[in-house]
Amino acid sequence: MTSFSKRIILVAVLVASLISVSTAGDKNSFDLSLRHEAQAAVTRALDYLAAAQEENGSFNDYPGISGLAMTGFARAPAELRKKHEATIVRGFKYLLTNVQDDGGIYPPFEPQLKAYNSSICLMALVAAEAPSFEQQIIATRGYLISLQADEDDGISPDSSTYGGIGYNKDERSDISNMQFALEAIRTSESYASTDQAAVTLDGSLPESTNEDLFWEKAILFLQNSQNYKKYNDYEWSSDDGGFVYYPGVSKAGATTSYGGMTYAGMKSLIHAGLTPDDERVQAAYRWIKSNYTVDTNPELGKQGLFYYYHVMAKALTLLGEPTLIDADGAGHDWRGDLADKLISIQAADGSWVNENGRWWENNPVLVTAYCVLTLQELLKPE
């Protein structure tokens, strides 16, 4: 074979390879058309939520659900914020009626959900980008940090709840409350320097403030909730890399790793300061790649499905890999997969709802707020 013939064959192989790569990319891409569909779905959803707002400015008379909805409105494009200006003003006024003397934002009639409500409301205040909210953001951020279980509460480092955050100061820590709290603290960190991380409501500082210790303690709790024996030496721990609800307890039964908590756990490890290539993050990602789906919440089916979508979008965005290669070697444009799934199941009135009512997901206002935030995450520039 002549050298010219070899060059012709080589060029043909390269062209075929490029065509193959291009075709695969086209097949799996979150393309412009799908992006337009996703934005249209958000527009319909915000119209639905605006119509569902209560006279007092709330959504379902509950700060947590209201905070999720208001974050969606605050993160919407300018033309939608203008369209829903009255809804936004009423919504934030309602959130501020739930501010408590300790800096938290929660309903006084349900103090057992202090961390959940405060975390979500804090993210809403940050999303508003309103200078008038600054002092409240700092106060609520400090309040969340004060909820961490540690020596100040008589909890020793060998306790399974150490370093975590639960529904309130007296509850055991769990990954779900932790993931909301860590995201809220990270989202709001530009409002306070390290020395102001635990500022009190009146603007004074406690005697000792060390934000670095908070993150170290948080990572310890997260490790103790991960099925990864290198960092978790509890007897119950397996080695699949996934997460349970809190050390030794899983909503999927026994100590089984499951979808929602594994995405929440991976997201939290990164928010706590670990890099995406850290082996604990990668262990969780291996579990995710082995259980990748947008049809169910792995190990729980339809239970908590829309919460699962919400944390999935946020966790994979933080990880920073646009294509997920599953355990079988197949590539998935997870943004496109998830957007297409949500668009296909949106109701005609712009809402979403789960046929399975566990964790309030038979509530279309809550679920629609989850979906708005999920789609907004997908629509961020890659």
**Averaged pLDDT, groups of 10, the chain, 382 residues long:** 39 32 42 94 98 98 98 98 98 97 90 92 98 95 93 89 88 95 95 52 41 78 98 96 98 97 98 96 98 98 98 98 96 97 98 97 98 97 80
Q: What φ, ψ does residue 230 adopt, rounded to 5°?
A: -60, -30
10 Å Cβ neighbour count for 37? 18
Q: What φ, ψ does residue 355 adopt, rounded to 5°?
A: -65, -20
- The predicted structure's pLDDT at residue 29: 62
Q: How far apart are CA 297 and CA 309, in angstroms?
A: 8
Cβ neighbours for 231, distance < 8 A, ≥ 6 positions apart: 223, 280
Type of residue at 50: A
Q: How far apart are CA 348 and CA 44, in angstroms?
A: 9
* H or E element that contains 289: helix 279-290
- The predicted structure's pLDDT at residue 153: 86
Burial, 320: exposed, middle or buried (Cβ in 10 Å; 0-12, 13-18, 19+)? exposed
- The predicted structure's pLDDT at residue 18: 30
The beta strand positions in the chain, using DSSP E, are 323-325, 331-333
Q: How far apart are CA 302 and CA 195, in angstroms?
A: 44
Tell me the pTM: 0.88
- Choose among 225, 219, 224: nearest CA to 273: 219
Cβ neighbours for 174, distance < 8 A, ≥ 6 positions apart: 164, 166, 167, 245, 246
- The predicted structure's pLDDT at residue 193: 54
- The predicted structure's pLDDT at residue 109: 82
Tokens at residue 25, please? 């990319």
Burial, 6: exposed, middle or buried (Cβ in 10 Å; 0-12, 13-18, 19+)? exposed
Using an 8 Å Cβ cutoff, are 44 and 350 in contact? yes
Type of residue at 192: A
